[in-house]
Structure 1
């Protein structure tokens, strides 16, 4: 009887270990954490330095590019479709229009650090201004109050 209990316990431990291993694999299911390049060649280039208001608002091509760019670079933390699971802010709730532009561009450019911990990495130098504004254009299409 003692040997059967030991064997059952060993099988339970093995099953738990296998489950934890599978769960660890799922935790990385969002893919590579390396920022992905965004092709913005179809958009008019921004040449006057950093702009304060989104020049691509309601631009269908920018929205298409922004959707792809968000899924490749932002969804792993901010959620697919920008529906956050609680890890990071739900970006659908950013103020729409010019009101939310300053907040958005400041955070995506410079990132967010609190008490020395990086909550969001800075994307300036990784994503172009055009890519950032395209993401913002797409976010406004999924905005909720």
Structure 2
């Protein structure tokens, strides 16, 4: 194989190796979230985000949600809630009850298509407080134009 073909083969291998790593989630264990300073919400899921402004804990929920999002959601939904295209851009979710309903359904049930898990059931790993804090953080991020 000549030098030109060797370089081309190396580029192809690197490209395919990188792309498979970018799309493969593997066995990722969700990271715990300390929500001790947030008001406890109980076992029954609320229908609407309880930390949305003007709630007095809105800023605290954004802070906790930022850390929780970037540890648990960013690998698919993008750093700082800016999607890179692998998964939906969560900043585009409706604000309010309709968006909360979709969000709640996804974090409780996950997303499975044709038997493939696209998103795990995050409520199996993170508390209601942590997941609503993540939603609060996402809502605080600027919506793309």
Do Structure 1 and Structure 2 share a fold, with TM-score over 0.5? yes
1:67 aligns with 2:66: yes
**Structure 1 spans left out of the alignment, 5+ residues:** 1-5
Residues 94 and 143, structure 1, Cα contact 8 Å, conserved in 2: no
1:84-99 matches, within 5 Å, as 84-99=83-98
Cα distance in 1, alignment partners of residues 13 and 118 from structure 2: 31
RMSD of aligned alpha carbons: 2.7
- Tell me the residue number matched to 1:102: 101
Residues 52 and 102, structure 1, Cα contact 8 Å, conserved in 2: yes
Superposed CA offset, 1:28-60 (max 9, x none): 9x9x82210000001011126111111111310
TM-score by length of 1: 0.80
Residues 40 and 65, structure 1, Cα contact 8 Å, conserved in 2: yes
TM-score by length of 2: 0.80
| Alpha-carbon offset, residue 107 of structure 1 | 0.3
- Tell me the residue number matched to 1:3: none
Cα distance in 1, alignment partners of residues 5 and 134 from structure 2: 50
Cα distance in 1, alignment partners of residues 3 and 112 from structure 2: 48
The number of equivalent residue pairs is 138
